[in-house]
Structure 1
Amino acid sequence: MTTKDKVVLAYSGGLDTSVCVKWLQTEMNLDVIAICGNVGQDEQDLEAIKKKALSLGAIDSEAVDLRDEYANHYLTKTIAANGLYENTYPLLSALSRPLLAQKMVDVAHKFGAKYIAHGCTGKGNDQVRFENSIKALDPSIDILAPVRSWNLLTREDEMAYAMANGVPVAATVESPYSIDDNLWGRAIECGVLEDLNNEPPSDVWTLTVDPEDAPDEAEYVELGFEAGTPVSLNGQNLSLLELIIELNKIAGKHGYGRLDMVENRLVGVKSRECYEVPAGSAIILAHKALETVTLDRETMHAKLDLEHLWSQCVYYGQWYSPLKNALDAFMADTQKFVTGTVRIKFYKGNCTVVGRQSPYSLYDFDLATYGEGDTFDRSYSEGFMYINGLQNTTWARIQGPSAHQN
């Protein structure tokens, strides 16, 4: 008997990847190893997903809880970089794909698989993130993208193929939206959201209440940081995983963390996206506030530029790249003294910073105050202003408008 080649498939248990299992078996004549990584998705029942893959004929199936690894080795990096794509939305799906790709490569090595497959479409960003990561980790592995290459062009085509090949199809009505979620939050697109003039319906949001229905009383929360990483919530030390889960509840209760935007995808398409990132948005807000008192001016200004570059790099699927590694090294060095506490206030869909303190604060009250105890020596200001304005004065005298007046 001829031994079949093996393929490792990123498997979620949904219609697309379940059809992928059968398609890879029947159309490509491959033995399928299904892997599901839990990075904090709402619906994950790891054992049930594993059993479903095996029932579809996968020769093996692995379901792995990756939440702690995701929090400690991926979310810490986006917090350090205040990871906001286009300076607006906290990076979300782009953070989990490199970890899932790493696990697929590990499983491919374990089973001696020639291929890795994913269920991404040819129109989105995730194909880039998966494939760039896989190629960076092991360029010898061939990548298959069934959804990009098969002739199942509609959901109805997929369902017909599933029924013809014994793939269980859920009887429930499908959500009209395309949703990706993990510990850091949710990304929602498609359906009525494709009309830019439609307000997002209430059923889009699941992590946050409508701000109009949020409590009428504000809630104050204190976040503690050590070297840039959140370590405590209201004085209680927690793992980052535990802290995010708890803060998601608090922020969500007050309707904070919703975002509706049009973003520029890597493939050249503008896309209307809704994001729900309660804890992540609050953590980045607090982290930025702490950096304002612990980073010197020049480092902070340089970091703002590099944060944009870091976020673009990750969004473009370059997690495993020389540039990303170099940027991570810079970000890590800036976090050495980002230690302290930040007090934030949640109220009716808003989150504001109302206090911050750090043992390494560069804020000097005696220099900053205009009241009694002011130690700023104003006698130096006249000379400072002369030197600071000398370049403009010289330009104005020789080249400026006044120099050429008749």
Structure 2
Amino acid sequence: MSDIKKVVLAYSGGLDTSVIAKWISETYQCEVVTFTADLGQGEEVEPARAKAEALGIKEIYIEDLREEFVRDFVYPMFRANTIYEGEYLLGTSIARPLIAKRLVEIANETGADAIAHGATGKGNDQVRFELGAYALKPGVKVVAPWREWDLSSRESLMEYCEEHKIPVDFSSSKKKSPYSMDANLLHISYESGILEDPWKEAEEDMWRWSVSPEAAPDEPTYVELTYEKGDIVAVNGEAMTPATVLTYLNKVGGENGIGRIDIVENRYVGMKARGCYETPGGTIMLRAHRAIESITLDREVAHLKDSLMPKYAELIYNGYWWSPERKMMQKMIDDSQEFVSGTVRLKLYKGNVIVVGRKSDESLFDEKIATMEEDAGAYDQKDAEGFIKLNALRLKIAASKGRSSL
């Protein structure tokens, strides 16, 4: 790819991406544009500007994408009650299509012909970034240094910094977290270190966003979430923007020990990997959304959504957010949310999210029919006999042919 003239790099300002910026400039003899996104990772992103300038970068993009992230990516995903392999709320996965989108948009704005990222050749993120980029800009070139260079350790990166006079905030004597972490407004993830042994329990001081359930308050916290068309628009009666909603739920959820999971997942690249995740706000959102759907969605619509969700989750996990099949499924999911409005009341207590109430002007729950008391003729119980016999017909026929056995 010697014809590359300008590259847009997803840049955090840390050791890896600082080395990558210099390495790309020297290896490809091209101009580097840096892009740093604030997705709610909890750290200041503006210092990345000075670091990029120190590397000689002329075009520097630093953007607050928190509202767009939650509004256009997290909320649509939660309308589907999305969860991967029964546990993972896709906190890292759902951030990658937004980053890929902005990399491509900045490439178009600056006339760049390539994008670059710092994902390793063993992970899912390389797939997510690149599938997104190719879907949005088919002719774009991709520079993936971890698949190209021979710098394979932190020590070799530090040596590269010394050799090329790259100013970084790290030193070999500075304590570094033993975990590989990724954070955004939806979650924080932990990998590597002792977590590479799936038998070992994660250390308590690893967790950043939540207290342990044992250390959570002895009194429950009640929260009311108001929905409009499947999205939370207010908390405890106060209107909030999507990012503000998630920020609040992360705080109150973390204070009550909610949202920790420890899983071994199947990566798209073929290996199993153990990871720990904190998703306090997302855990609350998932439980609450299912609660409001329980009184507003038709039975068959709800069941159809549930049957499609694993495929939808797999598409996001594997990096196909911008695929035609995900877009098609999203239209159906969004259409199902037309009447998903109302309020859910939750009790948060020592790691648990307990639904204690739900109400909606669009509710399909009819007390006159559901009551165990006298229903004044709203439901004729004699009708159940014919219903049962008709549904038993195929079972009786199979049994008469000897196809059923104890």
Question: TM-score per shorter chain, which class?
Answer: over 0.9
What's 1:275 paired with? 277
**What is the CA–CA distance in structure 1 between the aligned matches of 2:323 and 2:33, rounded to whole Å?**
27
What's 2:389 paired with? 386
Q: 1:325 aligns with which of 321, 324, 327?
A: 327
Deviates more, 1:290-299 or 1:272-281: 290-299
What's 2:117 paired with? 118
**What is the CA–CA distance in structure 2 between the aligned matches of 1:44 and 1:20, rounded to whole Å?**
21
What's 1:15 paired with? 15
What's 1:204 paired with? 206
Is 1:72 paired with 2:71? yes
| Cα displacement string for residues 142-192 of structure 1 (whole angstroms, at most 9, x for unaligned residues) | 001011210001111111111111122313311110111101111111101
Shift of 1:203: 2.1
Secondary structure of 2:382's partner?
A: helix
Superposed, which structure 2 residues align to 1:177-188 within 5 Å? 177-188=179-190
Secondary structure of 1:85's partner?
A: coil
Structure 1 residue runs without a partner (length 5+): none
Q: Alignment length, in residue pairs?
A: 399
What's 2:145 paired with? 146
| RMSD value, Cα | 1.3
What's 1:250 paired with? 252
What's 1:165 paired with? 164
What's 1:286 paired with? 288
Shift of 1:200: 0.9
Secondary structure of 2:223's partner?
A: strand
**What is the CA–CA distance in structure 1 between the aligned matches of 2:199 and 2:400, rounded to whole Å?**
53
**What is the CA–CA distance in structure 1 between the aligned matches of 2:184 and 2:311, rounded to whole Å?**
23
For 1:125, the aligned partner's letter is: N
Is 1:347 paired with 2:349? yes
Deviates more, 1:222-231 or 1:358-367: 358-367
**What is the CA–CA distance in structure 1 between the aligned matches of 2:373 and 2:263, rounded to whole Å?**
44
Secondary structure of 2:130's partner?
A: helix
What's 2:297 paired with? 295
| Cα displacement string for residues 335-393 of structure 1 (whole angstroms, at most 9, x for unaligned residues) | 00110111111111111111111111111112111113363201211111111111111
Shift of 1:44: 2.7
Deviates more, 1:256-265 or 1:78-87: 78-87
**What is the CA–CA distance in structure 2 between the aligned matches of 1:211 and 1:396, rounded to whole Å?**
51
Is 1:376 paired with 2:379? yes
What's 1:155 paired with? 154
**What is the CA–CA distance in structure 2 between the aligned matches of 1:253 and 1:167, rounded to whole Å?**
40
For 2:401, the aligned partner's letter is: I
Runs of 4+ more than 2 Å apart: 372-375, 398-402
What TM-score comes out, normalization by structure 2 length?
Answer: 0.96
8 Å Cα contact 2:45-2:62 kept in structure 1: no
Is 1:59 paired with 2:25? no
**What is the CA–CA distance in structure 1 between the aligned matches of 2:374 and 2:381, rounded to whole Å?**
15
Aligned identity (percent) is 43
Is 1:263 paired with 2:262? no
What's 1:400 paired with? 403
Shift of 1:401: 5.0
What's 1:232 paired with? 234
Structure 2 residue runs without a partner (length 5+): none
Secondary structure of 1:262's partner?
A: strand
**What is the CA–CA distance in structure 2 between the aligned matches of 1:43 and 1:366, rounded to whole Å?**
53
**What is the CA–CA distance in structure 2 between the aligned matches of 1:204 and 1:337, rounded to whole Å?**
41
Change (3 A) 1:163 1:283: same
Q: 1:365 aligns with which of 342, 364, 367?
A: 367
| Cα displacement string for residues 273-299 of structure 1 (whole angstroms, at most 9, x for unaligned residues) | 101000111011100111111111111
For 1:136, the aligned partner's letter is: A
What's 1:191 paired with? 193
Secondary structure of 1:266's partner?
A: coil
